[in-house]
């Protein structure tokens, strides 16, 4: 009901009083009958009764005593607000507890009125203010949501509008390069490759723009899994080495032999590195060097620390605080290609999403060192949430789901989607507070294993196993491209009681890791 | 043998044309449609082996167009490959849930596309062979 209909028309305002004192209820009744407007009064003595009445019909306002036989303090407000979020609450309070009343307002009540000071005017005014305030907040929330929705739609629209012509440029350049429009001269081929390369760059810029916009509405998402640190840096050198070489800059790596895996979103980790290296390339002259380094963080050994160090121009000390800001551009770039000034801001957001941090040290004329941290992959840290309850290790089973490409004709895109969708289905089958989807240990190419650590005995695990298989087979669109198999393994329970919990947990996670590696055939 | 036909539904004529060149070079015949209604009519007339559908058409939602294909018994079984520049996971799931054969990002990876079309052709050839040799299959 909108504010104007409550205030303007002749309809009686519906009021629900929840108060265990008959005297207080009468006081409200008297105050309202003296008012010029019409009120329709309903009463409840206990919170349970009040909640039942809220279930039956929506009053325009609830007058709520905080200390009821079945509920005390701000809890009373929370329970009413939870039951009827669209009904304003006016708290009735004694003269001695305005501290509690203020807290109630913070918890979700619109206003309070002291019973001893209640007369017809004060009560009706407070009630209408409560209704009005509630309405204003609801309207604000709604318009904020509308803005966010609009922004989403706008982004999706812009993304499409920008990409379509770009896709066209890309397709025709490819069509010509493949000789579909007749044979090409060497020059024509070179120019077309330049068109293609720049179209690719434009596509990356659009991606950056969309990433930055999503970060702004808190929608930049990561999907962390176990990532092999050595492998990912090797991949980066392959990916960026040629580009560095054409600029006359050497790309080197320093990686400790015992570098552990990290818990990260591989695609995003690569994105952070690419941003940092491309940034370094912009400020480093030919003959310079860019070094990628991975080591265990000295400040916090639970993290792996990555650095990208260049021998470039360095950053002016007074700008060090600004460079992670959106749209910031450092002036003395070597190349004339400036980019959008979003790369570092996006990188910062992504590092923070991983739970790490990023910073820079630099000296003018000597170069810059960008450092960021990402949590080490630790199975025991992940499984402890599920395994440890009341300081004890729980009985547990490992349930595995194996999927494989059903036929050769399944493309990589379809396979990737099948994996994602299957994971999502498996995720729906587990209880998040009891069971846990273990991060994938390594990509298996044509196969995928999903492991679930379930806090249950072997018979419970076999129920879970059957449920998952049933859901996967019943799911439309994915069964024709993949083959599923499930299995469950009871975990060994032979943990010595005299060891400490941490020790036991470490032992169990090592056992789990061994089992996973063995079962995956790695 | 006549080349297999593929129906392209995209309002961007340039893009559709580039795709047509690519398909022709691989021995497919492309049929172009710019809107949902004409796409249904062309699909009925040409019996394509697959339909390439752009998700963002000017006046209608690509998903609604796909539903129209599904509701026509003569073409309900033709695999629909949805193309979109909006490659978010949510969109991909929505499209596949609605019954699409596959989802392809724009800019299109033509190797993936050709691979998919070969797969579709092989499967339909298998089915025809089965039906020819085993008449009971028809009743299934």
A283-331 pLDDT, tens digit per residue, is 888 899 999 999 999 998 889 999 999 998 888 888 887 888 766 666 6
A residues 176-215 lying closer than 8 A (beta carbon) to B: 178, 180-181, 203
**Residues of B whose CB is below 8 A from A421:** 93, 96
Residue B74, burial from CB neighbour count under 10 angstroms (0-12, 13-18, 19+)? exposed
Q: Which residues of A touch B56 (CB under 8 A)?
A: 160
Cβ distance A477 to B97 less than 8 Å, yes or no, reads: yes
| Residues B57-63, mean pLDDT to the nearest whole number | 81
B1 compared with B82, residue with greater pLDDT? B82
Please give, rounded to a whole number of angstroms, the shortest distance from the CA of A167 to a CA of chain B. 5
A217 interface with B at CB cutoff 8 Å: no
pTM exceeds cut of 0.80? no
Average pLDDT over residues A123-138: 89
Residue A6 has pLDDT above 50, yes or no: no
A10 and B CB contact within 8 Å: no
Give me the mean pLDDT over the A208-219 stretch. Answer: 70
| A122 close to B (CB below 8 A) | no
Q: Is A171 on the interface with B (CB under 8 A)?
A: yes
- For residues A134-149, give the mean pLDDT: 85
Query: Nearest CA to CA, how far is B45 from chain A (Å)?
Result: 27
Cross-chain Cβ contact B102/A156 below 8 Å = no
- Residues from chain B that touch A180, judged by Cβ atoms under 8 A, are 21-22, 25
pLDDT at A481 over 70: no
A260, pLDDT greater than 50: yes
CB spacing of A156 vs B103 below 8 angstroms: no
The answer to whether residue A4 scores a pLDDT higher than 60 is no
Å from A450 to nearest chain B CA? 19
B12/A180 CB distance under 8 A: no
Q: Which pair of structure tokens corresponds to residue A428?
A: 């729906």
Q: Does A172 touch chain B (CB under 8 A)?
A: yes
- Section A13-40 average pLDDT: 88
Share of chain A above pLDDT 90, in %: 20
Closest residue, chain B, to A169 (C-alpha): B15
pLDDT at residue B140, as a whole number: 39
E strands in A6-125: 13-18, 39-44, 61-65, 89-93, 111-114
Q: Which pLDDT score, from 0 to 100, does residue A2 have? A: 45
Cβ contacts of B69 within 8 Å, gap of 6 or more: B39, B40, B43, B51, B75, B76, B78, B80
Do residue A163 and residue B104 have CB atoms under 8 angstroms apart? no
Residues of chain A neighbouring B108 (CB-CB closer than 8 A): 167, 171
pLDDT bucket at A210, cuts 50 / 70 / 90: confident
How far apart are the C-alpha atoms of A432 and A208, rounded to whole Å?
Answer: 33
Cα gap A296→A379, rounded to integer Å: 17
Q: Does A417 contact B92 at a Cβ distance shorter than 8 Å?
A: yes
Write the pLDDT tens digit of every residue in B10-42.
988 898 999 999 999 999 999 999 988 899 999
Distances (CA, A) of B57 to A157, A459, B16: 12, 52, 13
Mean pLDDT of A38-53: 91
Are A411 and B14 an interchain contact pair (Cβ–Cβ within 8 Å)? Answer: no
Whole-angstrom Cα distance, residue A118 to residue A375? 58
Cross-strand bridge partners of residue A368: A362
- Mean pLDDT for the stretch of residues A136-162: 80
CA distance B18 to chain A (A): 6
Q: Does A175 sit within 8 Å of B22, measured CB to CB?
A: yes
CA distance B85 to B64: 18
Contact between chains at B21 and A180 (C-beta distance less than 8 A)? yes
**pLDDT above 50: residue A3:** no
Closest alpha carbon within chain A to B105: A413
* pLDDT score, position A18: 94
> Can you tell me the distance from the alpha carbon of A371 to that of A305, in angstroms, rounded to the nearest whole number?
7
Residue A108: how many CB atoms within 10 A of its CB? 16
Residue of A338, A289, A336 whose CA lies nearest to A312: A289
B chain contacts of residue A164, beta-carbon cutoff 8 Å: 12, 15, 85, 106
Q: Which of B19, B115, B123 sits opposite A171 (nearest CB)?
A: B19
Of residues A170, A172, A411, nearest to B115 (C-beta): A411
The residue of B84, B101, B107, B112 whose CB has the most chain A CBs within 10 angstroms, and thus the best one to mutate to test that interface, is B107
Cα–Cα distance between A343 and A361 in angstroms, integer? Answer: 17
Residues of B with CB under 8 A from a CB of A: 12, 14-15, 18-19, 21-22, 25, 56, 84-86, 89, 92-93, 96-97, 99-100, 102-110, 112, 115-116, 118-119, 122-123
- Which residue from B129, B126, B131, B124 is spatially nearest to B101, judged by alpha carbons? B124
Q: What is the tens place of the pLDDT at every residue in A329-372? A: 666 555 555 666 778 888 998 999 899 999 999 888 888 999 99
Of A171, A421, A476, the CB nearest to B18: A171
Q: Closest approach of chain B CAs to the CA of A175, in angstroms?
A: 7
């Amino acid at each position: 009901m909108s504010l104007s209909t409550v205030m303007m028309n002749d309809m009686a305002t519906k009021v629900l009083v929840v108060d265990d004192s008959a005297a207080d209820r009468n006081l409200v009744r008297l105050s309202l009958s003296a008012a010029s407007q019409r009120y329709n009064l309903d009463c409840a003595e206990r919170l349970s009764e009040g909640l039942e009445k809220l279930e039956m019909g929506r009053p325009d306002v609830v007058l709520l005593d905080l200390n009821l036989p079945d509920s005390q303090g701000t809890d009373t407000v929370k329970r009413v607000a939870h039951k009827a979020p669209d009904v304003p609450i006016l708290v009735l309070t004694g003269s001695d507890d305005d501290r509690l009343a203020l807290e109630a307002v913070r918890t979700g009540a619109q206003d309070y009125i002291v019973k001893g000071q209640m007369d017809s005017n004060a009560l009706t005014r407070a009630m209408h203010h409560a209704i009005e305030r509630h309405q204003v907040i609801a309207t604000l929330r709604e318009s904020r949501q509308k803005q966010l929705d609009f922004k989403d739609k706008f982004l999706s629209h812009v993304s499409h509008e920008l990409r379509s012509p770009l896709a066209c440029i890309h397709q025709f350049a490819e069509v010509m390069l493949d000789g579909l429009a007749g044979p090409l001269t060497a020059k024509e081929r070179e120019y077309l490759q330049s068109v293609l390369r720049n179209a690719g760059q434009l596509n990356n810029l659009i991606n950056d723009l969309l990433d930055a916009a999503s970060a702004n509405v808190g929608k930049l998402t990561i999907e962390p899994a176990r990532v092999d640190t050595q492998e990912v840096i090797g991949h980066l050198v392959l990916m960026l080495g040629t580009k560095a070489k054409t600029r006359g800059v050497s790309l080197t790596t320093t990686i400790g032999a015992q570098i552990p895996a990290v818990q990260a979103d591989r695609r995003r980790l690569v994105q952070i590195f690419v941003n940092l290296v491309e940034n370094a390339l912009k400020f480093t002259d030919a003959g310079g060097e860019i070094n990628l380094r991975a080591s265990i963080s000295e400040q916090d050994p639970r993290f792996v620390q990555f650095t990208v160090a260049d021998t470039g121009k360095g950053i002016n000390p007074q700008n060090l605080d600004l460079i992670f800001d959106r749209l910031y551009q450092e002036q003395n770039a070597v190349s004339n290609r400036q980019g959008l000034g979003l790369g570092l801001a996006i990188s910062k957001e992504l590092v923070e999403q991983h739970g790490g941090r990023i910073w820079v040290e630099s000296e003018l004329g000597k170069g810059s060192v960008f450092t960021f941290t990402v949590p080490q992959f630790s199975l025991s840290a992940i499984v402890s949430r599920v395994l440890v309850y009341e300081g004890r290790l729980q009985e547990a089973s490992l349930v595995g789901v194996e999927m494989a490409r059903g036929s050769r004709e399944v493309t990589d895109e379809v396979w990737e989607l099948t994996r994602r969708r299957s994971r999502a289905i498996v995720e729906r089958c587990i209880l998040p507070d009891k069971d846990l989807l273990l991060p994938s240990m390594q990509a298996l190419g044509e196969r995928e294993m999903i492991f679930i650590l379930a806090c249950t005995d072997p018979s419970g695990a076999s129920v879970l196993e059957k449920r998952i298989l049933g859901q996967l087979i019943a799911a439309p669109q994915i069964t024709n491209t993949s083959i599923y198999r499930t299995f469950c393994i009871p975990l060994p329970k032979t943990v010595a009681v005299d060891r400490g919990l941490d020790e036991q947990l470490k032992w169990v996670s090592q056992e789990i890791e061994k089992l996973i590696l063995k079962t995956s055939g790695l | 043998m006549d080349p297999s036909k593929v129906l392209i539904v995209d309002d961007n004529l340039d893009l559709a044309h580039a795709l047509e060149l690519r398909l022709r070079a691989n021995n497919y015949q492309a049929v172009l449609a710019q809107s949902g209604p004409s796409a249904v009519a062309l699909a009925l007339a040409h019996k394509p082996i697959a339909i390439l559908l752009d998700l963002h058409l000017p006046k209608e939602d690509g998903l609604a167009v796909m539903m129209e294909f599904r509701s026509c018994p003569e073409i309900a079984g033709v695999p629909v490959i949805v193309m979109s520049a909006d490659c978010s996971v949510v969109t991909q799931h929505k499209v596949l849930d609605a019954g699409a054969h596959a989802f392809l990002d724009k800019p299109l990876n033509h190797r993936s596309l050709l691979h998919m079309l070969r797969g579709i052709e092989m499967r339909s050839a298998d089915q025809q062979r089965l039906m020819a040799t085993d008449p009971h299959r028809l009743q299934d």
